[in-house]
Structure 1
């Protein structure tokens, strides 16, 4: 199982639509001054979404409500991205929780992280991905995920927050 608490400014790559991913990757390329391989990067990112539909993977994703509201792409791409979140929510491989602005804060992670079963955590920083394998540190990430999960709304509550974000774009 892949547990993916996403305390981030964008949905995780495997949830991204091409229009959204293109806007995001263009911004990253400009910021970092790296060679423009956006079309290849977007294709690779979008291809990873196949794991949502095949195999025995399970993605438990938590995102802050702000992720739904940031204008990372133009309004049409943002609407498409938000509608895509609604479309993947019913998949058996997906559990999506949104931490509302109004949630009582009990955990404040400083970075995005992915917890791969009990074997490793991948932490994303501005410039690097860090793999954590120490059992004590993995326990801290599992504890943070559990705290975040308690703050999140799922199902109808999450869908309502996504729909409100779509409505705000219209």
Structure 2
């Protein structure tokens, strides 16, 4: 079930308030005592804890200091920053076309990131897609979102972004499920071209591409694909929204998940053999 961005922000405010309430209780303070320690009215403390009112940066700092929990300030401030910005509605962005969806909120992040960690379970990551594969995939989203049909422009944005693969000082650590190799967008010719492109990119020294084989023993299965930009941000997508995670503790959890998934993948010659095998099956 998809939750609307406005209700998601409300839930995030309540969750933040709940964390602040827990800090207060762990410190053995009543609401009135915390209010006196932070110089605010006790009713505001209640509103913040119940998600009715959003705290400021200074509120967070004062709250943590009053509760002797200075080590929680960074995490709570990061949470505060994404309470109202965690969800970016695709439908709102797509009114200007798929070019806007693909280009919004991302270009600067791509330029700044030095290490990309990418996991996808049923699609080839955009940075590795051919123009034909990308166009076939985007055709569905144009219909689904009811957006302007600007697929050619959107594909051009994606192809231009791929120039970053050749840029020095950047590393791409990518893990995909074998199922992603077997999910078709377009016809067999489009799929063959995409698999051939993967084989080319696997030879680049700054790209590590691991493939988790079908029917293999593994510790976990991720519920969705996700991208980690350095250790600062995680991006993942639902059918209607792009979610950005910046809270350090949560980013760390995604990084841990990525390492577990990475451990189930095969690399080098073995990974190439899987791609070649799937490519050979296209003619059957």
Pair in the same fold by TM > 0.5: yes
Distance 2:270 2:215 in 1: 12
Aligned position for 1:59: 172
Local SS of the residue matching 1:19: helix
Q: Tell me if the contact between 1:112 and 1:125 (Cα under 8 Å) persists in the aligned partners.
A: no
Aligned position for 1:162: 275
Distance 1:107 1:137 in 2: 18
TM score, norm. by length of structure 1: 0.95
Of the candidates 164, 188, 197, which is equivalent to residue 75 of structure 1?
188
Of the candidates 46, 57, 60, which is equivalent to residue 159 of structure 2?
46
Residues 17-166 of structure 1: pairs in structure 2 closer than 5 A: 17-166=130-279
Higher helix proportion: 2
Unpaired segments of 5 or more residues in structure 2? 1-114
Q: Tell me if the contact between 2:120 and 2:180 (Cα under 8 Å) persists in the aligned partners.
A: no
Distance 1:128 1:35 in 2: 18
Q: Tell me if the contact between 1:121 and 1:132 (Cα under 8 Å) persists in the aligned partners.
A: yes
Bigger radius of gyration among the two: 2
The structure 1 segments of at least 4 consecutive aligned residues displaced by more than 2 Å after TM superposition are none
Residue 31 of structure 1 and its aligned partner are, at CA, apart by 2.1
TM score, norm. by length of structure 2: 0.58
Distance 1:55 1:129 in 2: 28
Unpaired segments of 5 or more residues in structure 1? none
Residue 46 of structure 1 and its aligned partner are, at CA, apart by 1.2
Distance 2:241 2:173 in 1: 23
Higher strand proportion: 1
Distance 1:144 1:111 in 2: 11
Pairwise CA RMSD: 1.0
Deviations 1:65-85 (A, max 9, x none): 000011221111100000000
Residue 55 of structure 1 and its aligned partner are, at CA, apart by 2.7
- Aligned pairs, how many? 169
Aligned position for 1:3: 117
